[in-house]
Amino acid sequence: MEGIEHRRVEVNGIKMHIAEKGKEGPVVLFLHGFPELWYSWRHQIAALGSLGYRAVAPDLRGYGDTEAPSSISSYTGFHIVGDLVALIDLLGVDQVFLVAHDWGAIIGWYLCMFRPERIKAYVCLSVPFTRRNPKIRTVDGMRAAYGDDYYISRFQKLGADGTMEWSENQGACEIHYR
């Protein structure tokens, strides 16, 4: 697809799939949201790679062709930020331009907070920074604000994967993933 190359690299104890275009120039690191993959950034990778940037988009831990550790405790923000720091190291650069969307944007904020020296600039799409409340779990706060029908609340129950019928949502998927 438009000169985009794919490979799997070893980072932080897992094999991570990355899509990239451009070998030279400043690195632009793209982080996808939920439930997405590197593919969400395909047009941006192609465009920036053609303009002299090194555009890189991983499938984050547990997504797509990146390994999915079996233990739920392996999916903390610290683990995912660790994956990204290891990826930045592997790319051989000190800093990246970071672009992130949706749940990837939350990880982007964590990366900026925990390792600010690795970020040249951050472009956050659709998720502003919000401080965590140490007195309430994030999912409980979302449930209180948006109710039990909010999609995050539904994902807390076993069997939630069966609540969405493809036929009802097919049109939306086709619009967003052309």
pLDDT at site 161: 55
Higher pLDDT, 164 or 127: 127
Q: What is the pTM of this model?
A: 0.84
Q: How confident is the model at residue 60 (pLDDT cuts 50, 70, 90)?
A: very high
Residues in the chain: 178
Report the candidate in 162, 144, 106, 61 with the shortest Cα–Cα distance to residue 153: 144
Stretch(es) of the chain classified as CATH 3.40.50.1820? 5-130
The two tokens of residue 90 are 């592997």
pLDDT at site 80: 98
Query: pLDDT tens for residues 75-88?
Result: 999 999 999 999 99
Mean residue pLDDT of the chain comes to 90
d(CA 174, CA 26): 33
Distance of CA 48 to the CA centre of its chain: 18
CATH, domain 5-130, list 1.10.10.410, 3.40.50.1820, 3.30.2090.10, 3.30.70.120: 3.40.50.1820
pLDDT at site 164: 53
96 - beta bridge partners? 119
